[in-house]
Structure 1
Amino acid sequence: MARFATLRALLMGSAALCLAPCAPMTAFAQEMIALDEISVNSDRAVQTDTATPVTVIDAEEIEGRQASTIAELLDSVPGVNLVNGTTPGGSAINIRGFGAMSGTYGSDQSVQIIVDGASTGAEELYRIGTQLYTDPALYKRAEVIRGSVGTFEYGSGAIGGMVLFDTKDASDFTNGQNGVAARQYLGYSSAGDGFVTSTTLAWQPDEMLELLFNYTWRTQDDYDDGNGDEVGNTASTLPSYLAKAKLHFGQDREHSVTLSYSDTQSSDKDVPYNQFSDAGWFGNVDRDIHSKTGVLAYKYDSLSNDLINVDVIVSQAQQTIDQQSATGSSSALLNADHDYKTTKVTVKNTMEFDTGAAQHRLRAGVEFINKDRQDASSAPGGDDRRKAIFLVDDVTFGGFTFSPALRFEDQHIDGTDYGYGSYDNDALMGGASLRYAFDNGLSVFGSYAYTEGLPILDDLSTAAYMSQSQKAETWELGMAFAGHDVFAAGDDLALKLNAYHTDVSDITAYSGVSDVEVQGIEIEGSYAASSGYFADLNASFANGYNRTAGASSDYWSQQPADQLRLGVGRVFQDSLRVKWEGVWNLKMDRAATPTDASFVQNVSMVYTPQGGVLDGLETTLAIENLTDQYYTPHLATRAAPGRTLKVSLAKTF
């Protein structure tokens, strides 16, 4: 209990500091320290200005990577690993050893997915993936937070981390100018003869209104591995669309209302029930999947008062999985229909003010969350209702940035309609980070976070778990550097190293496991020279241990293999970009089932003519797994694709 008392004292003291009387706003404006932004012209900017272990994938990288699934889009982030990333249904995301439950479940609730503020994409459905049935083409930004630090503003129990997605806006295509814009994207992948077409229409009739519609259709057959053998149960067809409208109003457009709706469907006939494999242990099913996410958001950003910046987000994410045995079997598992819906209301205000020499950016808010799920085989039904309050502040003084966070969550979970019990739980969680930036571009930082994963609907059939939350403590230390003219005139360098240690106790997601310890190092780096040469480095090295008394193995079964990813390339006259990438997956012998090392090479070329009749055309050519290596990534249940040619054409009108 001592650690909880320490946590409460730290967080309450931080809250008192945040809410101290404010000095005049003019003092805040005068005393803010303006730092030059370090922008490295490589594939990805390293986030050196924060203690949070966060990686941002922007629209340019999303287009260039030509990912076929959302999971595949994230696999280049250090600490992020995939279980079968090439299929939308059978893929699962693992961050720092948590999230994907190998070939059993697509999620352990420790990695959370947020789309435009809506919580989606994670139920513990037996032998079914993350259920993040959506298309990368719908999004302009993905932010990956590793670990719990930085997640308390958005949710609880994110032991592995969190992924925040932003869908596209019309102004991304009209550049904020009145008129109509259109973009057509066509792509081909030799893996399973995959094809994708994505059409976007954007209209901005005036400066107050913007409208967008996107339709994407993606399909592929079963792909071949590096030995030339067909990998079964990897075919998919995924039509998706996004409709979005944004209205600005009020003086200087201080107010805005945004309405968005995204819809993705998938239909598979006579396929193995097990989405992680083509093994026919359970039998075949006809499965129809429908994923819908709607968001209504209101924003008021006062231009005259820095204490008022209000966000109100009402969202609902619903996934339905209708399936029946393809052979007429009466198996409850094969004929189970799943229907789960998460409705959430978030009200948040951001205040900027100063208290003496300290400048604050304080976010305070409340959330109301209701998850409703029908009863099905392997998935108990019921309601999970939660109320939460959060307080997060970034306090800057001198070269220091202190960021305390507090979240309190109250839960009522009820399965009485389906013969289960009713339970009440609550938790106080949070943490803080401290960063110091030197004048030479070097910074050092450390953080502590404590989070709890409250009981979930999946455990209603086990009464002992319904009053036991999963608890995790994470300590992190790191350093970063960002600078210009480091090795030569006009070059840019950004590096970030983060070491972490996580202890997880009272585990309910894994049978026979109660305590786990994970520790590791993550490295991100980018370099760009004025001549156009650039390099990117991403690496993760980690160990995971099962600390459960009497455990048959000391190894943590969900720990991914160590990985190092290096890319080098050059930009020619801002129109031609070529790149080679090497991915080293190190031998994983710290596991009950070891995995051999692998070295995969990828090459790509992006051509974007500047001016002339081809202005606005973008051509991408890539070859993944250049040497046609046969390998199965650690934790994956099927072999990776062999040599794959990818070609795409995109034109903005």
Structure 2
Amino acid sequence: MMRTTGRRLRLLSTLGRTAGWGVSWLALLAAVPAMAQQASAPAEDPASTAAVVATDEFVELDPITVVATRTAESWIDTLAGVTVRRSEQLDMLMPARTADLFQGMPGTTAIQNANTSQTQINIRGLQDFGRVAVIVDGARQNFNQLGHAGAGGFFVEPGLIADVDVVRGPVSNIYGSGAIGGVVTMRTKDAADIIAPGQTWGVEATGEAAGNGFMGYTSVLGATQVGENVDLFVGATYRKADDYSDGNGDVVQDSGYETWTGIAKATFRPADFHEVKLTALNYETQFSTQTDADSATVYSTTAANRTVTASWNYSNPDDNLFDWRSSVYWNQVDQDQVKSTGSSNPITGAVGDPRSFVIDTVGFDANNTSRFGSGDWANAITYGGDYFQDEIDNTDDYGFGEGYNPSGDRGVGGAFVQWKANYSTWLEAIAALRYDAYSLNSDDGGGTSGERLSPKFTLGVTPWSWLTLYGTYAEGYRAPTVTEALVSGPHPLPFDTPGTMFYFLPNPSLQAETGKNKEIGINIKKDNLFFDGDKLRAKLNYYQNDVENYIELVEFGSSTGTICPIPGRPTTCFPFDWGVPGYAQYQNVQEARLKGFEFEGTYDARKWFVGLSGQVSEGEISAGVDAGQPLSTIQPDQVTTTLGFRFMEEKLTVAVRWTAVAAVTASDLPVNSVYEPTDSFNLVSVYAGYQPNPNTLWRLSVENLLDEQYTQYENFLPSAGLTVKGALTLRFGGGQTAGLSDPAYVK
């Protein structure tokens, strides 16, 4: 039985306490009669890559994305649960932590505990070990470190991010191996984001400060054009934050951090329609972290995320045979830790003992789209392949961090073909087939491999120009990681109590997970609804993802005995005698079922705008001995509403955002869950942005305006109380492109 009724009632109770924010629902409901009157209007072409809204004052394009099908299309036309964030939206979030980039996204939760710069992404209840593929500038982010706060994460400076695209579910199986939960792609800023149209060089400088434990941020980005076919971009950022206070006014220890980033890009256009781009990114951070709220062990941590990518793209609108995209990349995450607090023991070592976790990922991605017409059918065939190799080198000579995170290598690759067709203006069909294969090995011996074909089918119907209905069946395949298959070693319980422990057992016969997702959705796109130039955009979808061979940590065995010898300590034995199972192993449970409803919508009348997003989700083990047990990674139901106004010829924007999050109680969690229940909470934030001219942007925000005391689910430290942020961005540039005027640069 799904344990979600209580969650829904608690969310409704939370919403009721702030009922005045229901204006978003009224905007959407009021739009329905007006849209119905337009049913006989001529249909718009669903195959067009962007919808244009035009008035006498502005022309605006819906954001373009390729994340779902590898073919460029407007995000609102995509037949999938897709959310995009562009620079204007990211500016309003004023992100200080990477998790801030994902605030209010339906079905998507970024988990970033207060004492780390590392971020994990949960999509539809799936996270850790690559279930969500995270890609930055074309490079996969595959870092894993097993711990109480999950396994898997990435490091990136939020101030450098220009675009964020998220597709939920395994519907993007052509995008890469393993993404049974979804795909997150991020693009860092580039020359085109800095140089104003018509100019040949530009500089952007940003300074930001925040209270509640002082936070300071600065960045300087510069770009220039060398001739007509070369763009150069370089930049640096620095951010430092002190420990903040929670809603109760208590200082949250070790919530401070320090980061700095260097980035360089070179773009070449050696021939018409060809583009070659080289990118180098170096991110470094320092922070202090512990494994959970009750742990007396603290590690002083430094981490570096280094990425080098090279891409070659060819796109000629007159060439129907070739539309080529390709990239090769290298990514390394090197996290070094030194124990700074805690008692000496054979598990974590002594104060001053070091350990390190390093992963090197090299890979490539290449695909091409060929287009042809046949009667009223417009066809696009996309085909390609990708591969990445993880080399893991973890070292702990004083404890058992390497036992929990074994060294080894993993190779994962695949090839795919996709047919995407549009019939007239009312029908779209997508069919795809992907082949995946993997192999992994440990330095201590043992390994596993596997392969599979995964299909995808989507059908979309546009009966009226403003409404599209679609249904999808898609499968995805995720290979186990080296850690899941080969983790081995003792673990104390409670932490740092000698002689009391359980033991991780390896499972080299672990099988890959297979996600089978069924989804139905509605896209709503209407312009000039009530006023000239207004627009309504909304996406709603319901999904059910059945994950076969779902991998979960299972506890079993005797509760008393002796573990001897311990790997790496041939003369050391540990007795244990406690009332819980004595062994833990990652195993394939028969099946997990995750399902839910997601929605997001905006109505923009230029003078004012309103947005609404959220999700209701549930998940359980649906077969096997643990059938009926809830999944611990299901995120609480939540709703986010935004109401904003534009003044002074749209130079001043003021907005209020409210998020209501339901509670997670003990009944929502499985037995022996590593996560603690959390209370429901309301977050209210306000934002003001003033752009007096195209090159100056002032921003001010007040986050957690009500000074709410809350802890995000899966975090063990409370979040920040009331926080005030201020920022100033200045741009300047010069030169003039030959034959071009110098239009005003509007971000």
User: Alpha carbons of 1:463 and 1:556: their partners in 2 closer, same or farther (altered >3 Å)?
Assistant: closer
The letter for the 1-side match of 2:304 is: H
User: Alpha carbons of 1:430 and 1:43: their partners in 2 closer, same or farther (altered >3 Å)?
Assistant: same
What SS is found at the alignment partner of 1:459? helix
Q: Contact 1:140–1:166 at 8 Å: present in 2 too?
A: yes
**Within the alignment, does 1:411 sit opposite 2:449 as a pair?**
no
Give 1:71's aligned residue.
99
Q: Contact 1:494–1:527 at 8 Å: present in 2 too?
A: yes
Please point out which of 646, 652, 658 is paired with 1:576.
652
Inter-partner Cα distance in structure 1 for 2:409 and 2:212:
41
1:312 Cα deviation from its structure 2 partner = 2.3
Q: Contact 1:82–1:91 at 8 Å: present in 2 too?
A: yes
Please point out which of 398, 406, 414 is paired with 1:388.
414
Q: Contact 2:104–2:614 at 8 Å: present in 1 too?
A: no
User: Alpha carbons of 1:177 and 1:171: their partners in 2 closer, same or farther (altered >3 Å)?
Assistant: farther
User: Alpha carbons of 1:164 and 1:326: their partners in 2 closer, same or farther (altered >3 Å)?
Assistant: same
Give 1:597's aligned residue.
680
User: Alpha carbons of 1:338 and 1:124: their partners in 2 closer, same or farther (altered >3 Å)?
Assistant: closer
The letter for the 2-side match of 1:392 is: Q
Larger radius of gyration: 2
Inter-partner Cα distance in structure 1 for 2:541 and 2:321:
33
User: Alpha carbons of 1:191 and 1:94: their partners in 2 closer, same or farther (altered >3 Å)?
Assistant: farther
Give 2:157's aligned residue.
135
Q: Contact 1:69–1:85 at 8 Å: present in 2 too?
A: no
Q: Contact 1:72–1:85 at 8 Å: present in 2 too?
A: no
Inter-partner Cα distance in structure 1 for 2:238 and 2:142:
20
User: Alpha carbons of 1:83 and 1:168: their partners in 2 closer, same or farther (altered >3 Å)?
Assistant: closer
After TM superposition, the score normalised by the length of structure 2 is 0.76
User: Alpha carbons of 1:324 and 1:32: their partners in 2 closer, same or farther (altered >3 Å)?
Assistant: closer
Inter-partner Cα distance in structure 2 for 1:199 and 1:279:
40
Give 2:122's aligned residue.
94
User: Alpha carbons of 1:591 and 1:465: their partners in 2 closer, same or farther (altered >3 Å)?
Assistant: farther
Please point out which of 551, 554, 562 is paired with 2:629.
554
Please point out which of 190, 199, 202 is paired with 1:169.
190
**Within the alignment, does 1:643 sit opposite 2:722 as a pair?**
yes
**Within the alignment, does 1:427 sit opposite 2:504 as a pair?**
no
Spell out the pairing of 1:147-158 with structure 2 (5 A cutoff). 147-150=169-172, 152-158=173-179
Q: Deviations over 1:149-182 (max 9, x none)?
A: 12x2321222221100112221222135452200
Give 2:4's aligned residue.
none
Q: Deviations over 1:477-511 (max 9, x none)?
A: 11121112323444211121111111112122433
The letter for the 2-side match of 1:364 is: Y
Q: Contact 2:163–2:186 at 8 Å: present in 1 too?
A: yes
Inter-partner Cα distance in structure 1 for 2:422 and 2:627:
48
How many residues get paired?
601
**Within the alignment, does 1:504 sit opposite 2:547 as a pair?**
yes
Inter-partner Cα distance in structure 1 for 2:115 and 2:525:
37
Q: Deviations over 1:103-126 (max 9, x none)?
A: xxxx23211101121101441432
1:43 Cα deviation from its structure 2 partner = 13
Spell out the pairing of 1:297-336 with structure 2 (5 A cutoff). 297-302=311-316, 304-326=318-340, 329=344, 331=346, 333=348, 335-336=354-355
What SS is found at the alignment partner of 1:63? helix
What SS is found at the alignment partner of 1:64? helix
Give 1:197's aligned residue.
218
Inter-partner Cα distance in structure 1 for 2:84 and 2:263:
22
What SS is found at the alignment partner of 1:199? strand
The letter for the 2-side match of 1:452 is: Y
Please point out which of 122, 129, 132 is paired with 1:111.
132
Inter-partner Cα distance in structure 1 for 2:633 and 2:474:
22
The letter for the 2-side match of 1:295 is: T
Please point out which of 383, 393, 408 is paired with 1:364.
383
User: Alpha carbons of 1:34 and 1:203: their partners in 2 closer, same or farther (altered >3 Å)?
Assistant: closer
Inter-partner Cα distance in structure 2 for 1:39 and 1:596:
43
Q: Contact 1:89–1:131 at 8 Å: present in 2 too?
A: no
1:76 Cα deviation from its structure 2 partner = 1.6
Q: Contact 1:196–1:219 at 8 Å: present in 2 too?
A: yes
Q: Contact 1:603–1:623 at 8 Å: present in 2 too?
A: yes
Give 1:397's aligned residue.
423
Spell out the pairing of 1:133-532 with structure 2 (5 A cutoff). 133-150=155-172, 152-175=173-196, 177-250=198-271, 253-268=272-287, 271-274=288-291, 277-281=292-296, 283-302=297-316, 304-326=318-340, 329=344, 331=346, 333=348, 335-375=354-394, 376-398=402-424, 399-415=426-442, 418-461=443-486, 464-511=507-554, 514=589, 515-530=591-606, 532=607
Q: Contact 1:83–1:637 at 8 Å: present in 2 too?
A: no
Inter-partner Cα distance in structure 1 for 2:506 and 2:47:
54
Inter-partner Cα distance in structure 2 for 1:229 and 1:204:
51
The letter for the 2-side match of 1:379 is: N
Between stretches 304-313 and 53-62, larger displacement belongs to: 304-313
Inter-partner Cα distance in structure 2 for 1:195 and 1:379:
34
Q: Contact 1:448–1:474 at 8 Å: present in 2 too?
A: yes
Between stretches 507-516 and 366-375, larger displacement belongs to: 507-516
1:407 Cα deviation from its structure 2 partner = 1.4
User: Alpha carbons of 1:69 and 1:153: their partners in 2 closer, same or farther (altered >3 Å)?
Assistant: farther
The letter for the 2-side match of 1:393 is: W
User: Alpha carbons of 1:32 and 1:77: their partners in 2 closer, same or farther (altered >3 Å)?
Assistant: closer
Q: Contact 1:406–1:428 at 8 Å: present in 2 too?
A: yes
User: Alpha carbons of 1:284 and 1:638: their partners in 2 closer, same or farther (altered >3 Å)?
Assistant: closer
Inter-partner Cα distance in structure 2 for 1:95 and 1:501:
13
Inter-partner Cα distance in structure 1 for 2:113 and 2:301:
20
User: What RMSD in Å do the two structures reach over aligned CA positions?
Assistant: 2.5
What SS is found at the alignment partner of 1:588? coil
What SS is found at the alignment partner of 2:464? coil
Q: Contact 1:133–1:264 at 8 Å: present in 2 too?
A: yes
Inter-partner Cα distance in structure 2 for 1:454 and 1:480:
33
What SS is found at the alignment partner of 1:137? helix
1:255 Cα deviation from its structure 2 partner = 1.7
Inter-partner Cα distance in structure 2 for 1:594 and 1:368:
39
1:347 Cα deviation from its structure 2 partner = 2.0
Give 1:24's aligned residue.
none
The letter for the 1-side match of 2:340 is: A
Inter-partner Cα distance in structure 2 for 1:359 and 1:411:
35
User: Alpha carbons of 1:170 and 1:466: their partners in 2 closer, same or farther (altered >3 Å)?
Assistant: farther
1:72 Cα deviation from its structure 2 partner = 1.9
1:629 Cα deviation from its structure 2 partner = 0.9
User: Alpha carbons of 1:39 and 1:309: their partners in 2 closer, same or farther (altered >3 Å)?
Assistant: same
Q: Contact 1:208–1:249 at 8 Å: present in 2 too?
A: yes
Inter-partner Cα distance in structure 2 for 1:343 and 1:76:
33
Could you tell me which runs of 5 or more consecutive residues in structure 2 were left unpaired when the two chains were aligned: 1-44, 64-73, 395-401, 487-504, 556-587, 670-675, 733-747
The letter for the 1-side match of 2:230 is: L
User: Alpha carbons of 1:471 and 1:413: their partners in 2 closer, same or farther (altered >3 Å)?
Assistant: same
Q: Contact 2:244–2:720 at 8 Å: present in 1 too?
A: yes
Give 1:608's aligned residue.
691
Q: Deviations over 1:286-325 (max 9, x none)?
A: 3221110110111223454221122221101100112232
Give 2:17's aligned residue.
none
Q: Contact 2:129–2:481 at 8 Å: present in 1 too?
A: no
Inter-partner Cα distance in structure 1 for 2:375 and 2:137:
36
1:83 Cα deviation from its structure 2 partner = 2.7
Identity %: 24
The letter for the 2-side match of 1:52 is: A
Inter-partner Cα distance in structure 1 for 2:152 and 2:62:
26
Q: Contact 1:44–1:526 at 8 Å: present in 2 too?
A: no
What SS is found at the alignment partner of 2:88? helix
1:39 Cα deviation from its structure 2 partner = 5.1
Give 1:652's aligned residue.
731
Q: Contact 1:117–1:315 at 8 Å: present in 2 too?
A: yes
